[in-house]
Amino acid sequence: MTGTEEEHRRARDGAGGDLASAPLAQLREAVSHATAAVRGDGSESSRSLRLERPKHAGQGDYATNAAMLLAPALRTRPPKIAELLARELHQELGELLERTEVAGPGFLNLFLSDAWYRRALRDLVAAGERFGAGQTTAPERILIEFVSANPTGPLVAHSGRHAAYGDSLVRILERYGHAVSSEYYFNDAGSQVELLGASVKARARGEEVPPGGYAGEYVAELAAVIPDAADGDVGELAQTAVELLLARIKQTLDRYGVHFDTFFLERTLHEGSPSPLEVVLARLEEAGALYRSEGALWMRTTAYGDDKDRVVVRTGGEPTYLASDLAYMVNKRDRGFERQLNPLGADHHAYVGELKAAAAALLGDPDAIEVPMIQFVHLVEGSQRAAMSKRKGAFVTLDELLDEIGVDATRFFMLRSSHDRTLDLDVELARRQSAENPVYYVQYAHARISSMLRRVSAGRLEEASAVRSDWGEGQLDPAERNLIKKLASFPDELAEAATRRAPHRIAAYALELAQEFTAFYRDCRVVGATPEPVESFRIALSAVSGRMIGTSLELLGVSAPESM
RNA sequence: GCCCCCGUAGCUCAGUCUGGAUAGAGCAUCGGACUUCUAAUCCGGUUGUCGCAGGUUCGAAUCCUGCCGGGGGCGCCA
């Protein structure tokens, strides 16, 4: 299957390999060929064969560990094998490879010629917007459901991490080549919503909210806004309150730049006869996955890998959250999504086992659903931990956070560290020293490129950005080479971010790219550089850099200003 | 008690999945650079028991085991 896809891809992009991931793909292919030649058979190269960027200067532009991997099979010392690889690579790459060097325990360090760099930039220009896009060899239809905060209050700061993570992942997965749809599961049924209605009514009457009810200031506001709340029916009050809160949540998300393809109402899983919920329970019943105990209906999730069985219908006849999720899971699959992503807060981690078991039972594969754990955000005020708990309504809303530090800084901070790590966000620092935020550094690099290119005439820019190879013969500056290498690594970074569901990789990349560009800007005159081919080369390099910084920021949902 | 995540520079974090060479950024701090291709920038200095201890390996921040510390969770809440 992937074989024919691969062939198709080659046919489409020509013999030079996939343009969208060139030029590193070409280099990797050359190493792969050389490895096969040295091994003496035509077999596929080892998956762990790597082409990496050495950490230290003087160790080449790229290095491969291929010799060390081949050593056991060939029963030869790695340095010896590296020599053989070097010979093959020189033959394959010709003038593109300046020299090689065997080093350390058996690394083969590759020093690429300026011809290779010029060709790399030419490929980057030719790939244009497609660079790094559509790399996956196995496109999937993916539904990612995220935030899904209960409509019982405004979004809190922590939801901002979920929203930024999910939205960025949508963008990353789409660019990687998947068909992605985003969804907000809106829990508008059940006891929590009922309780909200009761809380609103109590507030309208000037009474204390019921035990376990919602005491936040927004409840009083709702009570004031809804007509006749003091005498209203609790169920109707709840619906009205939920609608108002949903509108507010949507408004916040909109401001945050997060857009959902669908808002899915839980209520619909309970409507109709038989309802989707009843259908899925009947199906599980038939499969012998349900049993009755202590007055409740249980699902035998332990038969599907969970560590304990779970209640699906309570003693009182009310379905649990899991029951709705079972029906929801089937609904998603019936809409054609073969993979479901469902990032959850770390406080829900105990729920993962149930979801995996449900996927095993209903979708035939526990991995049809993935549940990335989003760790908490601690808002810090200087050295004090700000109150993030929902207790007594004392929390920081996402809107308040956006008021404080802005959309771009919030999104960047939320995304720049790994989602499975707790995040300390110092609001005071972000507010007071916003000019030193990394996000501004990246944006500034983008604005600077835009400004610089505005000085170049349209014709000149077009000419420089056309695919050409007459960029001169002079020696490139190290900063130019480093910048090109950073640009060339984008497809790998995108692949990493997509397959690991890790948007923070893109944030790190954006920062590194901005740094490399700034170093280039410092060391190399662009506009007015002489001779003409050098200026042309540098204009093209700047234009590609600007586009890649813009693309990276777009994947994060952060704006890329033309001027600052 | 059991389960999950985390522990890397004074602070905030990359790097861990897939072991590789002298462990990286930003902030902070000290010194320097604005007649500029935008100084929201740049240059230079300082900064490490990769929580601890074993193990596997030619090689461990990375893999395995145990422990310590922080956070979260543990049948009819979501």
Q: What domain count does chain A have? A: 2
What pLDDT was estimated at residue A433? 62
For A501-535, write each residue's pLDDT tens digit: 999 999 999 999 999 999 999 999 999 888 888 99
Which range has the worst mean pLDDT, A206-220, A430-444, A450-464? A430-444
Residue A546 pLDDT greater than 90, yes or no: yes
Q: How far is the CA of A371 from the C1' of B3 (A)?
A: 16
Nucleotide B13's nearest residue (CA vs C1') is A417
Given A77, A112, A147, the domain boundary residue is: A112
The pLDDT value recorded for residue A435 is 67
The pLDDT value recorded for residue A280 is 96
ipTM: 0.94
Whether residue A392 is predicted with pLDDT greater than 50 in this model: the reply is no
Distance of CA A357 to the CA centre of its chain: 25
* pLDDT greater than 70 at residue A389: no
* A82/B59 CA-to-C1' distance in Å: 18
Within a domain: residue A409? no
Task: List the single range of A5-19, A59-73, A141-155, A504-518 with lowest mean pLDDT.
Answer: A5-19
Domain that residue A542 falls in: 438-556
* Alpha-carbon gap, residue A219 to A222, rounded angstroms: 5
Q: Of A69, A93, A112, at which residue does a domain stop?
A: A112
Q: Which pLDDT belongs to residue A1?
A: 34
- Whether the predicted model's global pTM rises above the 0.90 cut: yes
Of A112, A129, A157, the position where a domain reaches its end is A112
pLDDT in the model for residue A195 = 87
- Per the rule left: phi > 0, alpha: psi between -120 and 50, beta: everything else, A106 is left
Q: Which of A336-340, A426-430, A487-491 has the lowest mean pLDDT?
A: A426-430
Q: Which nucleotide is nearest to A195 (CA to C1')?
A: B77
Q: Is residue A330 part of a domain?
A: no
Lowest mean pLDDT among A20-24, A46-50, A198-202, A504-508: A46-50
Distance CA(A424)–CA(A421), nearest Å, equals: 10
Q: What is the tens place of the pLDDT at every residue in A438-463?
A: 899 999 999 999 999 999 988 888 87
A505: in domain = yes
CATH code at A36?
A: 3.30.1360.70
Query: Which tens digits make up the pLDDT trace of A284-294?
Result: 999 999 999 98
**What is the reported pLDDT for A18?**
57
Among candidate residues A385, A420, A497, A442, the one with its CA nearest the CA of residue A157: A385
pLDDT band at A488 (very low <50, low <70, confident <90, very high): very high
Question: How far apart, in whole angstroms, are the C-alpha atoms of residue A268 and residue A3?
Answer: 42
Contact A20, A135 (CB under 8 A): yes
Residue A248: count of CB within 10 angstroms of its CB: 18
Does A15 score more than 50 pLDDT?
no
**CATH number, domain with residue A486:** 1.10.730.10
Q: What percentage of chain A reaches a pLDDT higher than 70? A: 91
Q: What is the pLDDT of residue A212?
A: 78
Nucleotides of B under 7 A from a protein CB: 4-7, 11-15, 17-28, 37-43, 58-59, 70-78
- List the single protein residue with the shortest CA to C1' distance from B41: A518
More confident residue, A459 or A467: A459
Interatomic separation, CA of residue A289 and C1' of nucleotide B22, rounded (Å):
59
Reply yes or no on whether the pLDDT at A306 is more than 50: yes
> pLDDT tens digits, residue range A119-132?
999 999 999 888 99
* Residue A508 covered by a domain: yes
Q: What Å value separates CA A248 and C1' B12?
A: 32
Residue with nearest Cα to nucleotide B26 C1'? A438
Which ranges in A473-531 belong to alpha helices (H)?
478-488, 490-499, 504-523
Q: Read off the tokens for A391.
A: 């207790």
CB of A470 closer than 8 Å to CB of A533: yes
CB crowding A507-518: b at 16 or more within 10 Å, else e: bbbbbebbbbbb
- Give residue A73's pLDDT: 75
Protein residue minimizing CA–C1' distance to B5: A420
Residue A64: enclosing H or E segment and its boundaries? strand A62-64
- Looking at the domain assignment, is residue A536 inside a domain? yes
Res. A34: pLDDT tops 70: yes
Q: Which residues of A5-31 are buried (b: 16+ CB within 10 A; e: fewer)?
A: eeeebeeebeeebbbbbbbbbbbbbbb
Asked if residue A143 is part of any domain, the answer here is no
Closest nucleotide to A352's CA, by C1' atom? B4
Picking from A268, A265, A264, A270, the residue whose alpha carbon sits closest to that of residue A318 is: A270
- Kindly report the number of other CB atoms within 10 A of residue A479's CB atom: 17
Does A347 map to a domain? no
Asked if residue A80 belongs to a domain, the reply is yes
